[in-house]
Every structure is written in structure tokens, then in C-alpha cells.
């Protein structure tokens, strides 16, 4: 097969590992900076053009779209779909998962466990919003934040009110969620490919840090999931329509709850923690499914 990895930086670990894994399995793999792509949108012969050449001979693409470039990145993925190129994740599924509010609403509709979450526009409704999640301590999240950026733990009612007013004063959209104290600063990253969890790790936040992101000094170790946790991760990925996903869970007193569903999950941390060839399994999934040429996304909007 000829595979394109849509990534801004070929030197990133995840991009490099995917390229290595594809090459080792006998495929031709090219890293394409999706922001340098331009498109010919026509009914008869849609094209993606990169460095002056038409990208019309690829069998599959692996989107590694940065959160800051979701709009243009998904447009490039959608154009490849119009050209009947198989994508590891569809453009619509990526867009769903990047919209944190829509993601939670879709998960809620499927009956998947979530932290109690509130969303409001007006600062006049702060009291009711805080009351929905059971009061302080609570977590305030920017809808556009990634890797733990824009996530604040408000330990008192006064702190929660001040932070919400500050964010809304900047016209930033936020979510307010209950704080799952029993998780003790740890979460589970479940790596889903197709209809299986192929690897899982526990991420523990640094001392004094409630966020468990590895980028923020967290540590990771291999973990054995319960059947309920495994089922929750798979159902969450399917609710988004994602074929490749990183699903982040917390262990709460009322079962696993989903914090986030990531459409471009990092590979480095989970390969190091589990010693599983995650990149190779993604390429293997493409081998089994790209032949069908199916890019139909049948998940409800």
C-alpha cells in the first residue's frame, strides 16, 4: 500500500514510529504537512495537491491533526475521503471528538459514564452551574484546551466563581465538572483500534498535581482493565465514530467515567509503558480495512 501520514512534523515520535512501522511491513509511507496541502474541489476529479503534485495515488491516510488546526486539517482529510482514500479516522469523527461539549453530549446519549458536567453562557448563572456539579471542589475546563492546558481545579466556591467569571470575561467557553477525588490524580489511557482495546496504561500525576498528563510530569505504567472499563472505552470510541482513539477514563466510586476521547493519541507513552507495538497495530488495521474503501460515517450527528 501507499500510505500518507498527515503530520506537521516528521520528527515527532508518533509520526516517526508510524512511518517506521509501515516501511517495515513493506509499504510506501510519506509524511505530508497537511497545512501545505491545497485542494481542487470539483465534482469530476477532486484533488489534494502537495508541493505541486497531486496526491491521487494513496491507498490510505493516517491523520495526525493538531488541535490548533482542526478546521483545515479535517478539510484535507475530507478531501481525501472524496477521492475514496481510506482514512484511519474520518473527518467527521475527528471534528466530533475535538468539540468537547459535543463529545460529552454524544457519550451521554449512549449512556456512557461521565463526570457530572455543567455548561452555561451567562455569568449570572454561576450559582446554578456550580450547584449542578455538587459545589467545590470542582474542575473548570476550557473547551479548546489540550494536554491539560486550560484545566483548573477550584477548591473553594469563591475560587470557582472567580475563575468562571475570568474565563467568561474573556469570552472563553468552559465546562464545569465534578472533581473525582477518589481517582487520586490518576487516569487510564485506553488505546482503541477498531473494536478492541489493544493497550492500556495508568497515568499518575506528579506530586501535588491533579492532572495526569505525561507532558506535565505524570508517570505511566501498564494496567489491567476491568471488563467494564474495556467496554466503556470501546463504546466511547464507537460513539465518536473513531477507528483509532485514545480514551481517558477515571476510576470513580460509581464506575469508570470518561474524561476525553482523543482522535490523535500519542504513541510514545503507551508504547514505553506497555511494550506493545502500537504503531504496528495501526498499520495492521489499515491493511485489513483499506481494501474495502469504505469511508462512510454512519454515526448519528
Reported as a single tens digit per residue, the pLDDT across 250-298 is: 999 999 999 999 999 999 999 999 999 999 999 999 999 987 655 555 5
What pTM was computed for the model?
A: 0.90
* pLDDT tens column, 132-143: 999 999 999 888
Confidence grade of residue 301 (pLDDT, cut at 50, 70, 90): very low
Domain residue ranges of the chain, discontinuous segments joined by +: 2-89, 97-113+182-263, 117-179
Residue-level pLDDT at 252:
95
- Give the CATH superfamily of 117-179: ATP-grasp fold, A domain (3.30.1490.20)
- CA pair distance 36, 102, nearest whole angstrom: 29
pLDDT at 70 over 80: yes
Nearest one of 84, 83, 90 to 63, comparing CA atoms: 90
The answer to which of 28-32, 38-42, 290-294 has the lowest mean pLDDT is 290-294
Consecutive H or E run containing 52: none
pLDDT band at 209 (very low <50, low <70, confident <90, very high): low
The three three-digit cell numbers of residue 72, written as one number:
483545515
Q: Where are the alpha helices (DSSP H) in 153-225?
A: 157-169
Mean pLDDT along residues 111-131? 90
**pLDDT greater than 60 at residue 248:** yes
Residue partners of 127: CB distance under 8 A and separation at least 6: none
Rounded CA separation 41/44 (Å):
9
- Residues contacting 39, CB < 8 A, separation 6+: 46, 47, 48, 49, 75, 76, 79
Q: Which of 159, 209, 162, 157 is nearest to 183 (CA)?
A: 209
State the residue for C-alpha cell 516501511. Answer: 23
pLDDT, averaged across the chain:
91
**What are the residues whose beta carbons fall under 8 Å from the beta carbon of 239, sequence distance 6 or more?**
106, 107, 109, 110, 112, 261, 299
Strand-pair partners of 60:
3, 86
CATH number assigned to the domain with residue range 2-89, chosen from the 4 options 3.30.2350.10, 2.30.30.100, 1.10.3720.10, 3.40.50.20: 3.40.50.20
**What is the structure's pLDDT at 44?**
86
Are 163 and 244 in contact by the 8 Å Cβ rule? The answer is no
Q: Check if the beta carbon of residue 182 is closer than 8 Å to that of residue 253.
A: yes
CATH architecture of the domain covering 97-113+182-263: 2-Layer Sandwich (3.30)
Q: How much is the average pLDDT of 35-55?
A: 94
| 211 has a pLDDT exceeding 80 | no
pLDDT over threshold 80, residue 146: no
Most distant CA pair in the chain, distance: 60
Q: In this model, does residue 32 exceed pLDDT 70?
A: yes
What average pLDDT does the segment 74-91 reach? 96
Calculate what percentage of the chain has a pLDDT beyond 90.
Answer: 76
Q: What is the pLDDT, as a whole number, of residue 170?
A: 86
List CB contacts of 238: < 8 A, sequence separation 6 or more.
195, 299
Confidence of residue 167 (pLDDT cuts 50, 70, 90): confident
Q: Phi, psi (5° rounding) for residue 110?
A: -85, 0
Higher pLDDT among residues 148 and 12, named by residue: 12
Amino acid at each position: 500500500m501507499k500510505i500518507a501520514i498527515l503530520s506537521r512534523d516528521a520528527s515527532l515520535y508518533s509520526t516517526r514510529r508510524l512511518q517506521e512501522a509501515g516501511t517495515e511491513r513493506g509499504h510506501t509511507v510519506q509524511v505530508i504537512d497537511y497545512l501545505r496541502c491545497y485542494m481542487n474541489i470539483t465534482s469530476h476529479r477532486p484533488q489534494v495537491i502537495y508541493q505541486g503534485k497531486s496526491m491521487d495515488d494513496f491507498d490510505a491516510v493516517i491523520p495526525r491533526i493538531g488541535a490548533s488546526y482542526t478546521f483545515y486539517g479535517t478539510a484535507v482529510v475530507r478531501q481525501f475521503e472524496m477521492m475514496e482514500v481510506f482514512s484511519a479516522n474520518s473527518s467527521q469523527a475527528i471534528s466530533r471528538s475535538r468539540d468537547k461539549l459535543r463529545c460529552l453530549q454524544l457519550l451521554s446519549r449512549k449512556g456512557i459514564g461521565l463526570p457530572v458536567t455543567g455548561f452555561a453562557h451567562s455569568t449570572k448563572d454561576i450559582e446554578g452551574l456550580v450547584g449542578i456539579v455538587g459545589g467545590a471542589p470542582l474542575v473548570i475546563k476550557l473547551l479548546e484546551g489540550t494536554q491539560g492546558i486550560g484545566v483548573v481545579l477550584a477548591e473553594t466556591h469563591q475560587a470557582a466563581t472567580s475563575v468562571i467569571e475570568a474565563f467568561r470575561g474573556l469570552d472563553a467557553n468552559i465546562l464545569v465538572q465534578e472533581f473525582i477525588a477518589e481517582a487520586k490524580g490518576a487516569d487510564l489511557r485506553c488505546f482503541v483500534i477498531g473494536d478492541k482495546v489493544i493497550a492500556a496504561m495508568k497515568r499518575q500525576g506528579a506530586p501535588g498535581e491533579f492532572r495526569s498528563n505525561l507532558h506535565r510530569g505524570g508517570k505511566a505504567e501498564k494496567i489491567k482493565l476491568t471488563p467494564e472499563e474495556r467496554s466503556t472505552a470501546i463504546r466511547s470510541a464507537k460513539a465518536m465514530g473513531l477507528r483509532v482513539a485514545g480514551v481517558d477514563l477515571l476510576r470513580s466510586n460509581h464506575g469508570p467515567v470518561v474524561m476525553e476521547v482523543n482522535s490523535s493519541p500519542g504513541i510514545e507513552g503507551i508504547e514505553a509503558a506497555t511494550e506493545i507495538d502500537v504503531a504496528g497495530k495501526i498499520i495492521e488495521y489499515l491493511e485489513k480495512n483499506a481494501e474495502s474503501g469504505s469511508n462512510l460515517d454512519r454515526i448519528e450527528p
